[in-house]
């Protein structure tokens, strides 16, 4: 009986023939394996799913454990769609690890109508298949919508075929997901490290965060690309990491440092540089440069190397402006915060001496933007 039905179906519908299925899967997997961009990989796999089960639409969803959401990219373009973890068929499929086959979505309470309402689309039949990473954890799901053959609903066979694709999808997405996670982890690590450096020197509250935001802003004002400006922002919290190795007796000294003490203090630039210098990663290499060069001065009187002018990396010159602007406006164990008028007077007086003249001008011309950041991320106890 089953056989008869299958023969009939194969006549009427344009289902993929069994012998073609593996070929199609391998062809797409080859494409995915050559793609480094996670979002583009999702699109390729969605395409594959659509073809395999003759669906009108297919999407590939990933589970983001840290944010407890599931997300995909919209079929045309790179717009990201994010929904709560347990929402809709996809959410259920990911939460339970079970395949879902539905004939009419609107008769099913698990259906999340929001996307239909937003897009004017009419979902009818649905097939959801979860896929796993190599540990067996569910990391995402295929969702095919509206079977296009005369049958109009997804069959067990569709589910087997898409299941086969899901086995490969899980494995091929795993490395792209890991790469993305590594990059996110690096960023978090740097921020945490920066905060540790900050708390050891008891620098108030949000110093590293503000320096990162000022640096990004100044980079953008200087016409630096978004990509490089992001790199600078993410690495700049590391500028003072070398202070973790400076003895408390110096770091926390309430008064002015002696010449000898300041010589030791200057080592924080070299220590920071040594922490990161051997890394091959862009982000950590950037951190090395910033740690090394943020106390160099335009006129060559800075430390540790007395570099001059454009011999100082642009990231170092930018961080110098950002760091001093923030340090002057903050209480330190050794000094009180300066008033904004004093700070601005000092910054313009140091234009072309301490600081790159062009960067100083950009800073002064856009002072309002910097002050807005300062106010938005002010330390709770600034006025105490």
- Catalytic positions, please? 243
Residue nearer to ligand C2E on the CB measure, 97 or 357: 357
15, 158, 198, 323: residue in contact with Fe ion (rule CB under 5 A): 323
Judged by CB under 6 A, does residue 334 bind ligand C2E?
Answer: yes
198, 240, 293, 296: residue in contact with Fe ion (rule CB under 5 A): 240
Give min distance, CB of 288 to Fe ion, in A: 14
Q: How many CB atoms lie within 10 A of CB 257?
A: 14
Please give the residue ranges that form the binding site for ligand SIN (CB under 6 A): 56, 83, 87-90, 111-112, 115, 122, 124-125, 143, 146-148, 152
Residues of span 155-194 touching ligand C2E by CB under 6 A: none
Judged by CB under 5 A, does residue 293 bind Fe ion?
Answer: no
Whose CA is closest to 238, among 182, 296, 315? Answer: 315
Q: Residue 51 binds which entry of ligand C2E, ligand SIN, Fe ion, none, with Cβ cut-offs from 5 to 8 Å by kind?
A: none
Residue nearer to ligand C2E on the CB measure, 21 or 251: 251
Task: Find out whether 242 and 270 touch, Cβ atoms under 8 Å.
Answer: yes
Give min distance, CB of 189 to ligand C2E, in A: 22
The helix (H) or strand (E) run that includes residue 159 is helix 156-200
Judged by CB under 6 A, does residue 324 bind ligand C2E?
Answer: yes
**Region of 17-25, 225-233, 317-325, 353-361 interacting with Fe ion (CB under 5 A):** 317-325
Task: Find out whether 304 and 266 touch, Cβ atoms under 8 Å.
Answer: yes
Residue nearer to ligand C2E on the CB measure, 232 or 324: 324
Judged by CB under 6 A, does residue 253 bind ligand C2E?
Answer: yes
Q: How many CB atoms lie within 10 A of CB 369?
A: 16
Residue nearer to ligand SIN on the CB measure, 99 or 322: 99
Give min distance, CB of 286 to ligand C2E, in A: 19
Rg (CA), the chain: 29
d(CA 161, CA 169): 12
Cis preceding-peptide flag for 304 (omega within 30 of 0): yes
Residues of span 258-287 touching ligand C2E by CB under 6 A: 265
d(CA 380, CA 331): 12
171, 180, 187, 332: residue in contact with ligand C2E (rule CB under 6 A): 332
Residue nearer to Fe ion on the CB measure, 93 or 330: 330
**Which residues, including other chains, have CB under 8 Å from residue 311's CB and lie 6 or more apart?**
none
3-state SS, 312-371, equals CCHHHHHHHHHHHHHHHCCCECCECCCCHHHHHHHHHHCECCCECHHHHHHHHHCHHHHH
The 211-250 contact track toward ligand C2E, x by CB under 6 A, reads ----------------------------------------
Q: How many CB atoms lie within 10 A of CB 181?
A: 13
**Which residues, including other chains, have CB under 8 Å from residue 381's CB and lie 6 or more apart?**
204, 205
Instruction: Report the Cα 322 to chain-centroid distance in Å.
Output: 23
Name all contacts of 12-21 with Cβ < 8 Å and 24+ positions apart: 12/149, 12/150, 12/151, 13/54, 13/149, 13/150, 13/151, 14/54, 14/149, 15/54, 15/149, 15/157, 16/51, 16/52, 16/54, 16/161, 21/52, 21/161, 21/164
**Region of 78-86, 141-149, 240-248, 284-292 interacting with Fe ion (CB under 5 A):** 240-248
Give min distance, CB of 91 to ligand SIN, in A: 6
**Region of 26-34, 35-43, 239-247, 282-290 interacting with Fe ion (CB under 5 A):** 239-247
Give min distance, CB of 140 to ligand SIN, in A: 12
Residues that bind Fe ion (CB under 5 A): 240, 323
Residues that bind ligand C2E (CB under 6 A): 201, 253, 256-257, 265, 295, 323-324, 327-328, 332-335
């Amino acid at each position: 009986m089953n056989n008869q039905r299958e023969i009939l179906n194969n006549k009427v519908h344009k289902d993929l023939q069994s012998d073609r299925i593996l070929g199609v899967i391998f062809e797409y997997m080859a494409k995915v394996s050559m793609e480094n961009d996670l979002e583009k990989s999702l699109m390729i796999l969605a395409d594959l799913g659509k073809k395999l089960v003759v669906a009108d639409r297919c999407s590939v969803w990933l589970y983001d454990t840290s944010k407890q959401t599931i997300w995909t990219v919209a079929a045309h373009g790179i717009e990201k769609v994010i929904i709560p973890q347990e929402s809709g068929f996809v959410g259920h499929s990911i939460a339970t690890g079970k395949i879902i086959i539905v004939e009419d979505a609107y008769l099913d309470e698990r259906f999340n109508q929001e996307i239909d309402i937003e897009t004017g689309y009419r979902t009818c039949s649905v097939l959801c298949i979860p896929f796993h990473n190599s540990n067996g954890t569910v990391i995402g799901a295929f969702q095919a919508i509206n079977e296009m053959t005369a049958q109009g609903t997804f069959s067990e066979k569709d589910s087997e075929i898409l299941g086969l694709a899901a086995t490969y999808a899980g494995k091929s997405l795993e490395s792209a997901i890991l790469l993305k996670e590594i990059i996110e982890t690096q960023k978090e690590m740097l921020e945490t490290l920066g905060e540790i450096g900050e708390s050891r020197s008891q620098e108030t509250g949000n110093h590293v965060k503000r320096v990162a935001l000022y640096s990004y802003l100044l980079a953008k004002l200087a016409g630096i690309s978004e990509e490089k400006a992001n790199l600078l922002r993410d690495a700049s919290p590391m500028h003072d990491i070398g202070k973790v190795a400076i003895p408390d007796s110096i770091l926390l000294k309430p008064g002015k440092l002696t010449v000898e003490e300041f010589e030791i203090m200057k080592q924080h630039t070299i220590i920071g540089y040594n922490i990161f210098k051997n890394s091959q990663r862009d982000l950590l290499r950037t951190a090395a440069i910033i740690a090394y060069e943020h106390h160099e001065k335009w006129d060559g009187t800075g430390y540790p190397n007395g570099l001059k002018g454009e011999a100082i990396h642009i990231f170092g010159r930018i961080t110098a402006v950002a760091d001093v602007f923030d340090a002057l406006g903050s209480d330190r164990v050794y000094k009180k915060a300066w008033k904004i008028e004093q700070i601005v007077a000092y910054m313009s007086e140091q234009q072309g001496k301490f600081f790159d003249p062009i960067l100083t001008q950009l800073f002064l011309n856009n002072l309002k933007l910097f002050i807005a950041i300062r106010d938005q991320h002010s330390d709770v106890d600034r006025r105490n």
